[in-house]
Structure 1
């Protein structure tokens, strides 16, 4: 039997290529996490003089064939497992949702979203078994100049 490169793998690869290009064009470093367990990589930030700021954030990439726009947000069914992981993390984590057909991505601070949105509006969100619908503001578009 031959190995296959299915659409999910292709979408994940395209999201990684997209985010790496944006991060490099902003003068930062992207490091992939080889043994992905809720974290796909990390971003190290540099100054305009190309010196490290010693600031690093972790990144989880999620890819979809098409983004779900609703009013001024991107709607995404986020895995509870990932949010529970972020809830106990000591380091900052962003979620990046990439739309393959649009070739666009949107991001959110996972811990901030948990604290400001989920805990304030739906205290029982942790009782969900698989996913919870989240909203990412469209102004959080990932761009080469952001």
Structure 2
């Protein structure tokens, strides 16, 4: 008589081995917690720590083990993911990573892709009706997304919710900024109004998820080309003229030939200099509003991914 023994599928054994290996490829300072109920949801939660303190940011992982050899010379690793899992994950609050862990590697490592961003940037372009698929959707996991070695990228992904919140806060700041000069022409700005504009710009710089996170290129770019010059412009206007050519150029303003002819001992004619500096300050709100649109333009992100291989996911 045969014994009615319970047996585990080999795939479950492989996934269990992967869940054991994944934490060992993460920084020791980061905390991890395994989920108790798995099905098509979340296998593990990672909490990001920095200098011994919790950042309040976390990642959620769906972990898949494999015994296959993954060729690091390839650009991507194809994985067919159940549609029901993707539909569940795309509405998830925290960033969710699909993690592929080669369990036979002697040194613990894994590959990953940020699923919500991948859905928005890639799937919506290449397979817009993917939700209608009956079974699976193919996900292309970038081979360059490997751990250990990409800790900064994972921290950047984990900071996503704070980034979204900071963009919302920036929108409110820009609305206030616009109201400061709403009723006055550029030539009629008071020093009190300029000082308030400077205060709002400095308040914007405190939004660390946008302007203080080095991996976030759109934020770093706008800090350099928009906010820093606008604050400098406000400081110059509060100080008052005369203004040197170098000071006018320091806020990103290129002087015209007519303006250069009016220079006197490296000093720009006061009215021209002042209007040039005010022009920089007056266009700050439009520039940052445009940056918000560009930073969230998934069509542009897809183009960059296809042409240059650069991506957030």
TM-score between both structures, scaled by the size of structure 2: 0.43
Contact 1:67 1:98 in 2 (8 A): no
The answer as to 2:142 corresponding to 1:140 is no
Structure of greater Rg: 2
Distance 1:67 1:125, change over 3 A: farther
The answer as to 2:10 corresponding to 1:7 is yes
Distance 1:16 1:51, change over 3 A: same
What is the CA-CA distance between 1:104 and the residue it aligns to? 4.1
Contact 1:68 1:76 in 2 (8 A): no
Correspondence 1:1-146 to 2 at 5 A: 1-23=4-26, 25-37=27-39, 38-48=41-51, 50-67=52-69, 69=71, 71-102=74-105, 104-143=109-148, 146=151
- Higher strand proportion, which one? 1
What is the CA-CA distance between 1:145 and the residue it aligns to? 6.6
What's the RMSD between the two structures over aligned residues? Answer: 2.0
Aligned length: 144
What is the CA-CA distance between 1:7 and the residue it aligns to? 1.5
Give, in whole Å, the separation in 2 of the partners of 1:109 and 1:67: 22
Contact 1:67 1:74 in 2 (8 A): no
What is the CA-CA distance between 1:133 and the residue it aligns to? 1.2
Give, in whole Å, the separation in 2 of the partners of 1:7 and 1:144: 30
Give, in whole Å, the separation in 2 of the partners of 1:126 and 1:145: 31
The secondary structure found in structure 2 opposite 1:139 is coil
Structure 1, unmatched stretches of 5+, are none
TM-score between both structures, scaled by the size of structure 1: 0.88
Contact 1:42 1:57 in 2 (8 A): yes
What is the CA-CA distance between 1:108 and the residue it aligns to? 0.6
Map Cα deviations across residues 72-130 of structure 1 (whole Å, 9 max, x no partner).
11111111111101111122111101223346421010100000000011111111111
- Higher helix proportion, which one? 2
